A = this chain, B = another copy of it.
């Protein structure tokens, strides 16, 4: 009986603490995201992230082991959000080319204000421990599924050949999509220019997979 009373009393106290912990964690994440998005990975220091979140570096380290873990948490949140944007961006009832382009164009439009963050994500994907790479792939999975889903629907509608290698097409489209961010970083292309180029790339990649009329 005493145990039950204690635990019912303890529960809300624990929840308040947990809720505070979640809020603190999110505050750190948001400060980290805006600093990574502004400067990229290397120049963003834990000290400045803590300052941005209005807390001590100790409070940051109570939530995240190091900058790499913090970066990974930001990456996961952002890839989840980007997958939603891409999925929602595909116009209903359009041909597969327009659906893919609408989806990826929505991706560019929603992410270009965080360009240094994207550059940092791709740069780090070339040099990270295997476990971190596997977590990054898991975080990107919904994005690739969104692109694959559009292609699968097109197969079902007879727009794309049944024997097309969907996985290979998704990979080529995703590589081209990511690669284009370098045009934004170094050649000042905006989201519209990136989308126009992506349209040409989609045409090349789909050319052999589209069903003959």
A: which residues have CB within 8 A of B? 40-42, 119-120, 122-127, 130, 133-134, 165, 168-169, 171-172, 175-176, 179, 182, 185-186, 200-201, 203-205, 207-209
Contacts and interface: CB of A to CB of B under 8 A. Distances in A.
Contact of A127 (B119, B203, B208): B119
A192 to B, nearest CB: 18
Nearest to A124: B123
Number of copies: 2
Given A123-B127, A124-B123, A172 B186 contact: no
Contacts of A200: 165, 168
Contacts of A122: 126
A95 B209 CA distance: 21
Contacts of A209: 204, 207
A126 B182 contact: yes
